[in-house]
Amino acid sequence: MAGTRAAIRYAKAVLSLATDQKATDVVNNDMKLITNTIAASKDLSDMLNSPVVSAAIKKSALLEIFKGINSLTVNAIDSLIANKRIVLLSEVAKQYSLLFDKLNGTEVATVTTALPLTDDLKVKVLAKVKELTGKEVAVENIIDETILGGFILRVGDLQYDASITNQLNKLRREFTLN
């Protein structure tokens, strides 16, 4: 919890600087790249979390991996290393993207399904969520085979669970109460 709060503070600071320098889009692209790369590489994640690897090695590795990133993103990495908070890099990047989306009036709709969404279904989900929220929406599809079928839609604080697993659990609760 404390790590998330710290990550939000760092993300707000980076967003503020990026806004001042009119580089919010470029920094957001960097942050998405960082988030995706760390999530895709267990070795990179382990290296960032390792107390054995020195801060200098972590910094040089990150700058080598993320060549060509904006100077504000480099400064954020430097700040995290200087404050011994580099383990928060992925979370800072995620929080930055969330704050960036909120600043631009964009919501992220997370749709959890048992199978990947088709392009046609994505368009329908986008239209429905935009109708319900009145905001621009980006759809993120998470595949979770344990829901068996149906979907779980999350937009901000709202959640609609139309999964088969949820319906089976409701039936199970009804039968156990009667």
| Reported confidence tier of residue 178, pLDDT bands at 50, 70, 90 | low
Within this chain, do residues 6 and 91 fall inside the same structural domain, yes or no? yes
124 vs 139: CA distance, rounded Å: 11
104 vs 49: CA distance, rounded Å: 32
Within this chain, do residues 113 and 147 fall inside the same structural domain, yes or no? yes
Within this chain, do residues 9 and 93 fall inside the same structural domain, yes or no? yes
Domain at 67, CATH number? 1.10.520.20
Within this chain, do residues 115 and 82 fall inside the same structural domain, yes or no? no
Within this chain, do residues 128 and 166 fall inside the same structural domain, yes or no? yes
| Reported confidence tier of residue 32, pLDDT bands at 50, 70, 90 | very high
Write the DSSP string, the chain: -HHHHHHHHHHHHHHHHHHHTT-HHHHHHHHHHHHHHHHH-HHHHHHHH-SSS-HHHHHHHHHHHTTT--HHHHHHHHHHHHTT-GGGHHHHHHHHHHHHHHHTTEEEEEEEESSPPPHHHHHHHHHHHHHHH-SEEEEEEEE-GGG-SSEEEEETTEEEE--HHHHHHHHHHHHHH-
Q: pLDDT at residue 1 above 60?
A: no
Domain boundary among 60, 78, 102: 102
Within this chain, do residues 87 and 143 fall inside the same structural domain, yes or no? no
Within this chain, do residues 135 and 149 fall inside the same structural domain, yes or no? yes
Within this chain, do residues 94 and 126 fall inside the same structural domain, yes or no? no
114 vs 125: CA distance, rounded Å: 16
* 63 vs 178 pLDDT, higher one: 63
Name the domain count of the chain. 2
Domain boundary among 102, 119, 149: 102
Domain boundary among 102, 117, 151: 102
Within this chain, do residues 64 and 50 fall inside the same structural domain, yes or no? yes
Tens-place pLDDT, residues 140-175: 888 888 888 888 888 877 888 888 888 888 988 988
Residue 91: domain span: 2-102
Instruction: Report pTM.
Output: 0.71
Within this chain, do residues 88 and 118 fall inside the same structural domain, yes or no? no
Contact 86, 42 (CB under 8 A): no
Tens-place pLDDT, residues 36-80: 999 999 999 999 999 999 999 999 999 999 999 999 999 999 999
111 vs 22: CA distance, rounded Å: 32
Q: Is 78 left (phi over 0), alpha (psi -120 to 50) or beta?
A: alpha
Within this chain, do residues 149 and 85 fall inside the same structural domain, yes or no? no
Tens-place pLDDT, residues 99-121: 998 888 887 888 898 888 888 88
Within this chain, do residues 118 and 172 fall inside the same structural domain, yes or no? yes
